[in-house]
Structure 1
């Protein structure tokens, strides 16, 4: 294929990556908005470079006309999670969508059945329908779900494979394998205290949101010319802000909100 043909060929894949990123980011946003824990930490996506597609096709002995049907990861989405348990929650989310806006072709669990190199991740190959200027098209895409530790290790290993053209020296390979085991041990340790971690994160989010509400309302009072109340509420805020207890901040937030409701009712 010529450059122009490749550009035309990749357009549906580029659109699919953008759509899928939006869909999974929306799940995260929705859960956080309603105060629920999100198993999705962040989402990235990419379309394989033409050189990488050609190289993989050659390795798998795939003809150019068969690339769309036999190269499964031209479009790729990566979903990062905090805990191993979160990965399987995300997998369930994807399974729930099977038959609606995507079709699962097959799954590969490289966490339970990790590769000899130490690579761990969960892969789902999907058929994804996309609308193009020339009409509807169904393409293959790969969704990878992994923890932050798994992703750190995989990124380093990928760089080494690129440097050594897939032939990593044995002494480095051994150290990389040990690093993979250490990364997974870290994931296991974090899973052991995930309840405490999630509680701490939720407390931080509530505290941040409450402080934002207080400052926004004080600013609104300042704009309304309520100088006396602004000075009083600011003094209270300065006092409770130093206290790590969220309950005091929430009380102040409610007090300011109630006062604003009262003066709005009078006006």
Structure 2
């Protein structure tokens, strides 16, 4: 091991992970606002541990002075998607971005690893502004479905336990599990439209309920106690019916009552 200051060495990578997480979480919120659906389910990130960096450098025969270019996943972002189709769309969005440069991709979805591992890796060059000036660092963005991630997490844990030398029986069982996860993704894709419709309906219901509760609270604020109590009773009656359209109509009535209350003050 060289005598480098690892804490300082990792600062740009830590900054890159934090900034990339914010960017993709913001992208998720924007897409949901604009399109009511986002291919991003959730985002995580990490900086590789020093021990893992050294182990990978040794395995790949990367000289210590070439870590910044030889180890591409010191900064890592993982984005979970519901469907394989979401991964394809998200990859296109990332390629089109101007705040990072895509260097190359590793498509382990269409070209799975012998172990059964499936994921889509995008290696990007990302600029971070440090106290010493702008620095471009490599980062790996992994795109996975929830099923792919579940399998990969289990495989990683087992490889750690057996120090990369899995017993043949475990390898065979993992391979079968990988195929089961793949079939699950295929099945989910076949009913993707129905799932998305159900999720949008749930989101609509949630937004309407929030709006109604806020509106009723506003009526209390304007001392329209009788009206507020009436709308609350009506909401309680409709809640069990799960009828979005009737709740929307009630929400419009609350809006009109608020408008009248404002005019009379």
Q: TM-score, normalised by structure 2?
A: 0.98
Q: 1:246 to 1:3 in 2, by over 3 A?
A: farther
Quick one: distance in 1 between partners of 2:92 and 2:100?
Answer: 14
Instruction: Find the counterpart in structure 1 of residue 148 from structure 2.
Output: 150
Instruction: Find the counterpart in structure 1 of residue 202 from structure 2.
Output: 204
What is the aligned residue count? Answer: 265
Quick one: distance in 2 between partners of 1:104 and 1:4?
Answer: 29
The worse-fitting range, judged by mean Cα deviation, of 152-161 and 61-70 is: 61-70
Three-state SS of the structure 2 residue aligned to 1:76 is strand
Three-state SS of the structure 1 residue aligned to 2:5 is helix
Instruction: Find the counterpart in structure 1 of residue 92 from structure 2.
Output: 92
Quick one: distance in 2 between partners of 1:243 and 1:32?
Answer: 27
* Superposed displacement of residue 131, structure 1: 0.6
Residues 130-149 of structure 1 deviation map (CA, whole Å, 9 limit, x = unaligned) = 11001111111000001000
Indicate conservation of the 8 Å contact 2:2/2:64, yes or no: no
Instruction: Find the counterpart in structure 1 of residue 107 from structure 2.
Output: 109
* Superposed displacement of residue 64, structure 1: 1.0
Quick one: distance in 1 between partners of 2:117 and 2:206?
Answer: 37
Check if 1:226 corresponds to 2:237. Answer: no
Quick one: distance in 1 between partners of 2:30 and 2:215?
Answer: 24
Three-state SS of the structure 2 residue aligned to 1:127 is strand
Quick one: distance in 2 between partners of 1:17 and 1:68?
Answer: 15
Three-state SS of the structure 2 residue aligned to 1:112 is coil
Instruction: Find the counterpart in structure 2 of residue 75 from structure 1.
Output: 75
Q: TM-score, normalised by structure 1?
A: 0.97
Matches within 5 A, 1:53-72: 53-72=53-72
Quick one: distance in 2 between partners of 1:257 and 1:163?
Answer: 60
The CA RMSD measured in Å over matched residues stands at: 1.2
Quick one: distance in 2 between partners of 1:214 and 1:4?
Answer: 59
Residues 31-88 of structure 1 deviation map (CA, whole Å, 9 limit, x = unaligned) = 2223521000000000000000011111111111110110000000000000000000
* Superposed displacement of residue 167, structure 1: 0.6
Residues 171-224 of structure 1 deviation map (CA, whole Å, 9 limit, x = unaligned) = 010000000000010000000001000000000000011001101111111122
Quick one: distance in 2 between partners of 1:39 and 1:20?
Answer: 16
Q: Match for 1:181 among 171, 179, 182?
A: 179
* Superposed displacement of residue 258, structure 1: 1.3
Gaps of 5+ in 1: none
Quick one: distance in 1 between partners of 2:54 and 2:187?
Answer: 41
Q: Match for 1:139 among 137, 140, 161?
A: 137
Quick one: distance in 2 between partners of 1:16 and 1:3?
Answer: 24
Quick one: distance in 2 between partners of 1:18 and 1:146?
Answer: 20
